[in-house]
Amino acid sequence: MNVSTLPSVELRDIQPLDAQRMRVDADGSWALLGGKCENCGKLAHPFHRGCSRCGGTERLVELEPIGEVRSSTTVHVTRPDVLLPVPYQVALVQLREGPVVSVPSLRSEVFHLGETVLLAPVLVDTLTGPRAIVQAVPLSED
């Protein structure tokens, strides 16, 4: 795996757009968040507190930000509160740990079914200033 080609993003003092999906620490590092059911063990993303399978209580966990593209589409209209440059791609990515995550790519690549992608932070403009979201980035195998 070659992660050195990922664009580096300065996350220090940047808040995530959705604190159920990712965490940004004071040192600028980040984590993809999810929930693990304390009853049945199901992993989910984003963190919801309640398990969608059994209703049990979820514990906040960090998920490995790597997976495989299962589906993708092109979005031509952005959210009114998040200024994503249209058009952009959105993929359903099945993480290696199991959960399926809907993630955009603000880069020009088109997703390919079965392609391995890394999830990586990117900054977006919002009505309240820059926020961090997670995008999918193709993984180049060496």
- How far apart CA 71 and CA 67 sit, in angstroms, is 12
Q: Which stretch binds Zn ion (CB under 5 A): 15-23, 52-60, 84-92, 118-126?
A: 52-60
Considering only 18-26, 51-59, 94-102, 103-111, which stretch makes contact with Zn ion by CB under 5 A?
51-59
Choose which of 37, 124, 136, 139 interacts with Zn ion (CB under 5 A).
37
Q: Is the Cβ of residue 48 or residue 79 nearer to Zn ion in the bound state?
A: 48
Spatial distance between the Cα atoms of 92 and 79, rounded to a whole number of angstroms: 18
- Smallest separation (angstroms) from Zn ion to the CB of 63: 16
Q: Which stretch binds Zn ion (CB under 5 A): 18-26, 47-55, 86-94, 130-138?
A: 47-55
In the complex with Zn ion, which residue's Cβ is closer, 50 or 130? Answer: 50
Strands 82-83 and 30-37, by their bridges, are unpaired
Q: Give the residue among 107, 103, 106, 132 at the shortest CA–CA distance from 119.
A: 103
**C-beta neighbour count of 95 within 10 angstroms:** 19
In sequence order, which residues have a C-beta less than 8 Å from that of residue 12 and are 6 or more positions away?
Answer: 26, 27, 28
Cα–Cα distance for residue pair 84/74, rounded to 1 Å:
12
Work out whether 39 is an interface residue with Zn ion (CB under 5 A).
yes
Residue 49 contacts Zn ion per CB under 5 A: no
Among 9, 14, 31, 56, binds Zn ion (CB under 5 A): 56
Residues forming contacts to Zn ion in the complex (CB under 5 A) are: 37, 39-40, 42, 51, 53-54, 56
